[in-house]
């Protein structure tokens, strides 16, 4: 079962190391410090919840940071989403476009520029475009069905479904998100690449 790969020690430890690095400069009141302090106690409970299919994502918090509104997952939820991304990357990578350079290990911006440069002699023009509000416009049902085409583990699919049907807390007001995926989430680049495949 795929959830066993998500919940194994190696994946969870990689996700934890990623979280510690990503949130090393977060405010001292952020929940990442509690998670780090009590990790030796929280880790086995988290693993047990994942394996039993009982893990539930909490709400995202909407915060204002440097004049920009951000929606942030709790530290533990972000860790689980990273663990999911690590495992699903291996499952979905063979089905993604080789031209999705934003994914880890595909070359990033430099890889994209090298790809364009390699084909410049074939074409007279280069056309750069973008899909306006791409992440915000993603249809949950379509994306979920795309994931389900390659993933059969019901527990992993439940986690993906929770990630899609998230809700956001904004000063005590809770908003159910009906469309779009979360910016700044470790799973979102992979989901965005999968959703883009039919267009590509």
- Give the containing element (helix H, strand E) for 68: strand 68-72
Residues 25 and 105: their CA atoms lie apart, in Å, by 25
Residue 82 confidence (pLDDT): 98
How do the pLDDT tens digits run along the chain, 200 residues long?
A: 999 999 999 999 999 999 999 999 988 989 999 999 999 999 999 999 999 999 999 999 988 777 777 889 999 999 999 999 999 999 999 988 777 766 666 667 787 788 888 888 888 888 877 778 888 999 999 999 999 999 999 999 999 999 999 999 888 888 899 999 998 899 999 999 999 888 77
Cα distances (angstroms) measured from residue 67 to each of 63, 64, 70: 10, 6, 10
For residue 108, what are the contacts with CB-CB under 8 A and spacing of at least 6? Answer: 101, 102
What tokens were used for 64? Answer: 């204002």
């Amino acid at each position: 079962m795929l959830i066993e790969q998500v919940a194994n020690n190696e994946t969870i430890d990689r996700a934890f190391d990623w979280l510690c690095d990503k949130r090393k400069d977060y405010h001292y009141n952020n929940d990442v410090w509690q998670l780090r302090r009590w990790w030796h106690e929280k880790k086995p409970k988290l693993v047990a919840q994942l394996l039993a299919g009982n893990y539930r994502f909490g709400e995202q918090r909407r915060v204002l940071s440097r004049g920009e509104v951000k929606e942030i997952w709790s530290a533990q939820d972000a860790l689980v989403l990273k663990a999911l991304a690590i495992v699903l990357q291996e499952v979905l990578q063979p089905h993604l476009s080789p031209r999705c350079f934003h994914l880890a290990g595909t070359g990033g911006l430099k890889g994209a520029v090298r790809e364009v440069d390699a084909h410049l002699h074939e074409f007279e023009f280069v056309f750069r475009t973008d899909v306006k509000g791409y992440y915000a416009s993603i249809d949950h049902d379509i994306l979920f069905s795309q994931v389900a085409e390659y993933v059969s583990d019901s527990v992993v699919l439940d986690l993906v479904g929770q990630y899609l049907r998230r809700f956001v807390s904004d000063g005590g007001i809770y908003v159910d998100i009906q469309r779009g995926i979360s910016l700044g989430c470790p799973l979102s680049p992979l989901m965005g690449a999968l959703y883009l495949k039919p267009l590509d």
